[in-house]
Amino acid sequence: MTRFGKIVLGAAFGLALGAQAQAQSKGELHIYNWTDYTSPELMKKFSEETGIKVTVDTYDSNETLLAKLKSGAAGYDIAVASHDFVQILSREGLIQKVHAAKFPDYGNLKKEWQSPAWDPGNEYSIPYDWGTTSFGYDTAVYTKPVDSLKTFYDPPAELKGKIGMFGSPTEVMSLVLVYLGKPQCNSNPADLKEAAAVLEKQKPSVKLYNSDGIQDRMASGETVAHQVWSGDFRRARAQRASLKYLFAKEGGIAWMDNIVVPAHAPNLENAKIFMQFMLKPENSGMHSTFAGYPTAVTGAEKFTDPAVATAPEYLPPKGWKYTFAPSCDEKAIRAYDRIWTKLRQ
Amino acid sequence: MTRLRSLLLMAPSLLTIGIFMAVPMLVALAYSFMTSSPYGGVQMPFSVGAYIQILYDEDFDGTLAFTTDYLMIIGRSVVLAGLTTAACLAVAFPTAWFIVCRAPRQRQLLLFLVSLPFWINTLIRTYCWVLLLRDEGLVNHLLEGAGVTDEPVTLLYNDGAILLGLIYTFLPFMVLPIYSTLERVDHRLIEAAYDLYANRRLVFRRILWPLARPGVAAGALLVFAPALGSFLAPDLLGGGRKLLIGSLIQLEFTSGRNWPFGSAIAVLVSTGVLIAMLIQARRGRPPSELHA
Amino acid sequence: MTTVSARPAPQAARSYLKAPGAAASTEPLVAIRGVSMSFGPVKALIDINLDIENHEFLTLLGPSGCGKTTLLRLLGGFEHPTAGEIRLNGQDVAPLPPQQRPINTVFQNYALFPHMTVAGNVGFGLEMSGWRKPDIAGRVEQMLAMVRLADYGNRRPDQLSGGQQQRVALARALAPSPQLLLLDEPLSALDQKLRKEMQIELKRLQKESGISFVLVTHDQEEALTMSDRIAVMSAGRILQLGAPAEIYDRPVNRFVAGFIGEANILPAAALGRSGGSVAVRPERVSVVEPGAARHRGTVASIQYLGSDTLLEVDTPAGMQRARVRGSAGYEVGGTVGLDWPGDAEVELQD
Ligand SMILES: Nc1ncnc2c1ncn2[C@@H]1O[C@H](COP(=O)(O)OP(=O)(O)OP(=O)(O)O)[C@@H](O)[C@H]1O
Ligand SMILES: [Mg+2]
């Protein structure tokens, strides 16, 4: 999910997809997805099974997706949106109801992922995949056992100046609030001051704030600890075995990407066919292998590459506390923004 | 009749300038006077709140407090863009002159080399600097290999790295216009100046520099304006540790969801650049009056 | 009328070299000794030896590509000879750059600085050699008056006519009172009438200033009317050096005889002389009765030149031309006699 990789690889996949699956006459499906997040093999399989021609367009942030759909000039049948944006999109009337609960394979969804908080009754969406956000670090550099996020917010000498943080204020703030045990989307001045103080104190130890290229930085040793998405971290660990993902005692942040159908999608029926296609364990597993993140479909693990499915950061341990950071109101966003701007003065 | 004709002939270029330059700026201007909608975008009513925010920001408890944060960011960006422009000029002028002094065929090749980076995505090129400069990067490997240093020198994630990236990115924009003016300078003017007892320094100051000034002015603008608004180099090479205008505007349009504020800053900066341009155009018009 | 004073400018170049008066009396202003110049395989100048005297007007004359400009550029310091020595007041200046030589140039296209006013141009050399501002203003005024452009100081070069630009270039080059002024075809861009005027003007300026001029031209008439001495060049060599009359009356070889004015070239044997060939100027030839004449032939063509008539006469010694006053009734095909005084015959080296 790095921006750099997305652009390079996205261009290649776009070409590859455009070239195949043309002759069929069962209509088309226009997918709008994160870059480097659509398995070309899976799309090929979909086209072969259904005769529907797939085109993929990519974006690099939820905000881009929102802006694009808002501009009305979309023409997409499928979009992939993070859980916090599903709520925004539905509230703004930018996606339409598909009543996924009525799909024959709806039962394939694991119980805990059915009817999530951001989409009760799965009226608008089905899960695409999900993951967690925490810190990863190099056990070769910092050898002592780590169980708390404190190690990274108030780091020991070994880690000072070599910590990487995300480059987006909302993601930085949500994990800090978990660390402090405070509620998400916080606009309580006292809590905000505390969070700001943690970040200010941490700053001298931070090498950089950037959500791109984490995998590369951790693999090369450029940073020895980093705020990171679980799936990204697995790829880094594949290059440097001493890396370890922390499931901290304070808990962590989780997110889920979801398949939604934009309002006025030109091929609504094909979009529904695609959603049902993604509910099949073999297809979901194929996606999981490609993306490196677990999905919400029962039995998908069986079709996921074991190297991916057995990775320590693939799934959190049973009982680990994680929070789905919701979409925040303007007040909280403004406050985060202000902390973020001050921090980088 | 001829007036109409010339107007018609000018129409395509006026339209182009209008669509690609004026419209985006007008849109930004309009946005800056509106209210932000909760999930990004703008809505009614009109408001000057965005401009007030530049100086008076809302504190956590909702009270307005005077802040120099944004002024600092703007100031830092202007300084950095200015340094970039100066450094580009210092490198580009001799480079352009060197190229002008080559044989025509070599010139073609050298110009091609100067414009070569345009063929590669800026993001990729900037990222390549990360690969070169990072602790485990080529530069550090070479330094260590040559025995100059024992452990990696931190080259990245500071203002110097940003400056380097900006200079690298925008250098061609300085070289090309300067080259095009220098190329048109009659070589005999330089010989004439030497003949009249000018030394190298004076030939540069009194002949080459004034004659190349239109190119220098164009180059300075082409470097300064985008350097001021750039966010790739600050983010990638500066590690996002310090905010610059470009990153700030980008932030406000994305996760900050405060389009009016982002627009207000953009308008402020564009206005500044525009004023600088006008002053430059005014000063540069009659070159003969430089040395009356 | 204003004159160019010989006031020495306080310049570095000046002090580096001995003043003209201080030079040994036998030493010319410039002594060019065994100078050769090659551009890669092209030999532009071959073993040039030439003296340039004080106060003289010397012209380099020759066909295109013979090396005139190259020689001038060597004097100016824009090129450096591949071999030989160029002495100014007895000192070798061959390695010195232009700014260290008290020599100024009027360039063929004038090379006026487009971004400066006329006054700025004229004062440039003074400024560069360290004159004080008020002195410069006075000198510029004086120079502009001298070239009759007194009121043009605030104009820009592109607001002047070709002739005016030419004069600004002259004023600019003369302002610092150089010891030597080089002019590369300064009049070639002007029309016939203006050219004549400027020829007179140039000559006047040279006389008044007392500065030595070296003028490059391929216009023989220009060379003859203006010069104290002419150096006729061909293919990188100086073929003959001398006063105009000397060159005209006693050309040393066929090339010079043919290049300057017109000449009948006859084999020496045909005149009962020893040696190779002999030149006779057409205007020295008189047309006489065929009977008593030393040479006889048939009129091949008749060309009326206004006051004169040019006859081409086919003789046993070859085609001869005769330039005669008036337009007496000759006809093509008629037989005429040709005669000339003995001193009209010039023996040529080849
Ligand atoms: N920079 C140079 N590089 C190579 N060859 C040159 C150069 N300058 C002059 N030459 C050659 O040297 C020879 C003499 O050139 P020069 O310019 O001195 O001739 P010129 O007598 O001034 O001719 P013109 O009357 O046409 O101006 C020519 O054959 C020319 O091609
Ligand atoms: Mg010439």
Residues A150 and A41 in one domain: no
Percent of chain C with pLDDT over 70: 93
pLDDT digits (tens, 9 = 90+) for C44-90: 999 999 999 999 999 999 999 999 999 999 999 999 999 999 999 98
Q: Mark residue A154 as left, alpha or beta (left: phi above 0; alpha: psi -120 to 50; beta: remaining).
A: beta
The answer to whether A341 contacts B135, with C-beta atoms less than 8 Å apart, is no
Give the CATH architecture of domain C15-255: 3-Layer(aba) Sandwich (3.40)
Q: Which of A51-65, A217-231, C64-78 has the lowest mean pLDDT?
A: A51-65
Would you identify the CATH topology of the domain C274-348?
OB fold (Dihydrolipoamide Acetyltransferase, E2P) (2.40.50)
Residue pair C177/C5 in contact (Cβ under 8 Å)? The answer is yes
From the CA of C63, which ligand is nearest?
1
Instruction: Out of B196, B198, B211, name the one closest to residue C104 (CB).
Output: B196
The answer to whether residues A92 and A201 belong to one domain is: no
Structure tokens given for A277 = 């296609």
Q: Is the pLDDT of residue A275 over 70?
A: yes
pLDDT range class, residue A320, cuts 50, 70, 90: very high
Q: Residue C233 contacts by C-beta under 8 Å, 6 or more apart in sequence?
A: C60, C61, C62, C66, C67, C68, C71, C239
Domain shared by A112 and A200, yes or no? no
Residues A111, A260 within the same domain: yes
The two three-digit tokens of residue C264, written as one number: 């009948």
Q: Are residues A18 and A123 in the same domain?
A: yes
Amino acid letter, residue A105: D
Structure tokens of C324?
Answer: 């005669």
Q: What is the residue-averaged pLDDT of chain A? A: 88
Q: Which residues contact C79 (CB under 8 A, 6 or more apart)?
A: C37, C70, C73
Tokens of A87: 């709520």
pLDDT of residue A22: 40
Where do the H-state alpha helices sit in chain B? Answer: 2-17, 23-32, 49-55, 69-100, 104-115, 122-133, 138-145, 159-183, 187-195, 200-203, 209-229, 232-236, 245-253, 259-284
Tens of pLDDT along C10-32? 444 443 444 444 444 578 999 99
Residues 6+ apart with CB under 8 A from B74: B245, B265, B268, B269
Chains B, C: CB contacts within 8 A come to 80
Listed by number, the residues of chain C in 18-77 with a beta carbon closer than 8 Å to a beta carbon of chain B are 76-77
Which pLDDT band holds residue C5 (cuts at 50, 70, 90)? very low
User: Mean pLDDT in chain B?
Assistant: 87
Q: What is the pLDDT of residue C25?
A: 56
* Same domain (yes/no): A248, A269: no
Using alpha carbons, select from B127, B77, B138, C101 the residue that is nearest to residue A210.
B127
ipTM score above 0.90: no
Please report, for residues A114, A149, A308, B178, C251, the alpha-carbon distance to residue A318 in angstroms, rounded to integers and kept in the order given. Answer: 18, 19, 18, 66, 116
CB A35 within 8 A of CB A58: yes
* pLDDT above 60 for C231: yes
pLDDT band at A14 (very low <50, low <70, confident <90, very high): very low
What pLDDT was estimated at residue C124?
Answer: 96
Q: Two tokens at A99?
A: 């009543």
| A133-152 residue pLDDT tens | 999 999 999 999 999 999 99
A235 in the same domain as A139: yes
Dump the DSSP string for A193-208: HHHHHHHHHHGGGEEE
* β-pair type (C295-305, C308-315): antiparallel
CA distances from B15 to A220, B3, B9, B270 (A): 50, 17, 11, 20
Assess whether A221 and A304 both reside in one domain: no
Instruction: Say if residues A228 and A218 touch (Cβ distance below 8 Å).
Output: yes
Q: In what order do the strands lie in the sheet with C318-325?
A: C286-288, C335-339, C295-305, C308-315, C318-325
Nearest to C113 among B189, B199, B292 (CB): B189
Q: What is the pLDDT of residue B43?
A: 82
Under the banding of pLDDT at 50, 70 and 90, the label for residue A73 is: low
Determine contact, residues C158/C114, Cβ cutoff 8 Å. yes
Selection from C138, A220, C290 nearest residue C299 by Cα: C290
Closest by CA to B256, choosing from A211, A204, A173, is A173
Q: Are residues A136 and A285 in the same domain?
A: no
Residue C22, pLDDT score: 46
Backbone angles phi, psi at A214, to 5 degrees: -60, -45
**Which sequence spans correspond to the domains of chain C?**
15-255, 274-348
| Least confidently predicted of A204-208, A277-281, C175-179, C194-198 | C194-198
Across the strands, what pairs with C83?
A: C36
**pLDDT beneath 70: ranges in chain B:** 1-2, 284-292
C10 Rama sector, left if φ>0, alpha if ψ -120 to 50, beta otherwise: beta
Rounded Cα–Cα distance for residues B189 and C111 (Å) = 5
* Residue C98 touches partner B, C-beta closer than 8 Å: yes
Structure tokens at C7: 């006031």
Cα of first residue to Cα of last residue in chain B, in angstroms, is 40
The torsion defined by the Cα of A138, A144, A146 and A152, in degrees rounded to 10, comes to -60
CA distance B210 to B222: 19
d(CA A119, CA C46): 96
State which residues form the domain around A276.
6-130+255-309
Cα nearest neighbour of C97 on chain B: B194
Q: What is the CATH number of the domain that holds A161?
A: 3.40.190.10
Q: How many CB pairs under 8 A join A and B?
A: 106
Cis-peptide into C267, omega within 30 deg: no
So what's the pLDDT on residue B288? Answer: 43
Check CB contact of A141 with chain B, cutoff 8 Å.
no
Q: Is B139 on the interface with C (CB under 8 A)?
A: no
List beta partners, residue A130.
A256
pLDDT above 50: residue C241: yes
Q: How far is CA A228 from CA A38, A171, A191, C47, in A?
A: 21, 10, 24, 81
The three-class DSSP label of residue C246 is helix
Instruction: Specify whether A60 is located in the same domain as A40.
Output: yes
The C-alpha torsion from B177 through B180 and B186 to B192, rounded to 10°, is 30
pTM (2 decimals)? 0.79
In this structure, the residue with its CA closest to atom 28 of ligand 1 is C65
The kind and range of the H/E element at C126 are: helix C118-128
Q: Which two tokens stand for residue B111?
A: 């110009």
Gap between the Cα atoms of A297 and C206, Å rounded: 103
- Please give the C-alpha separations between residue A17 and each of A44, A54, A108, B193, in angstroms, as whole numbers: 8, 7, 28, 64
pLDDT surpassing 60 at residue A16: no
Are residues A247 and A136 part of one domain?
yes
User: What are the CB-based long-range contacts (under 8 Å, 24+) for C265-273?
Assistant: C265/C318, C265/C348, C266/C317, C266/C318, C266/C320, C267/C317, C267/C318, C268/C347, C270/C316, C270/C317, C271/C317, C271/C345, C273/C345, C273/C347
Q: Does B187 touch chain C (CB under 8 A)?
A: no
| Percentage of the residues of chain C whose pLDDT score is greater than 90 | 52
Task: Give the range among A12-26, A78-92, A325-339, C169-183 with minimum mean pLDDT.
Answer: A12-26
**Cβ–Cβ under 8 Å, residues C79 and B175:** no
Which residue segments constitute the domains of chain B, with CATH numbers given? 47-56+66-284 (1.10.3720.10)
CA-based nearest residue to C57, from C237, C191, C163, C201: C201
**CB contact (8 A) between residue B242 and residue A344:** yes
**pLDDT value of residue A249:** 95
Q: For A146-185, what is each residue's pLDDT tens digit? A: 999 999 999 999 999 999 999 888 899 999 999 999 999 9
Q: Work out how many domains chain A is built from and give that number.
A: 2
Q: Does any domain span residue A1? A: no
| pLDDT confidence of residue B2 | 65
Per-chain residues with Cβ under 5 A from ion ligand 2: C 69
The answer to whether B188 contacts C156, with C-beta atoms less than 8 Å apart, is no
Per DSSP, the residues of A133-172 read EEEEEETTT--S---STHHHHS--GGGTT-EEE-S-HHHH
Angle, nearest 10°, between helix axes B187-195 and C118-128? 50
Which chain B residues touch A7 with a CB distance below 8 Å? 121, 123-124
pLDDT score of C1 more than 80: no
- Cα–Cα distance measured from residue A251 to residue A232, given in angstroms and rounded to the nearest whole number: 19
How is residue A252 written in tokens? 């962590």
Q: pLDDT digits over C151-174, tens only?
A: 999 999 999 998 899 999 999 999
Mean pLDDT value across residues A75-95: 91
- Determine the Cα–Cα distance for residues C297 and C320; give it in Å rounded to an integer: 9
Alpha helices in C147-290 (DSSP H): 162-174, 192-209, 220-226, 244-249, 254-259
pLDDT at C92 over 70: yes
CA distance B133 to chain C (A): 45
**b/e per residue, A78-98, with b = 16+ CB within 10 A?**
bbbbbbbbbbbbbebebbbeb
Could you tell me the pLDDT band of residue C8, with boundaries at 50, 70 and 90? very low
Amino acid identity of residue B259, one-letter, is W
Q: Of A210, A335, A345, which is closest to B240 when you measure between CB atoms?
A: A210
- Record: contact A222-B38, CB cut-off 8 A: no
Residue-level length of chain B: 292
Contacts 24+ apart (CB under 8 A), C325-332: C328/C287, C330/C287, C330/C299, C330/C302, C331/C299, C331/C302, C332/C299, C332/C300, C332/C301, C332/C302
Strands (E), C195-334: 212-217, 229-234, 237-242, 264-267, 277-280, 286-288, 295-305, 308-315, 318-325
Residues A175 and A291 in one domain: no
CA distances from A50 to A14, A21, A55, A114 (A): 20, 11, 14, 26
| pLDDT above 70 coverage of chain A, percent | 92
Residue C19 confidence (pLDDT): 45
Q: Is residue A114 part of a domain?
A: yes
How far A48 CA lies from chain B's nearest CA (Å)?
35
Indicate the helix (H) or strand (E) that contains A13.
Answer: helix A3-19
Position C267 pLDDT exceeds 60: yes
Q: What tokens does C136 get? A: 């410069």
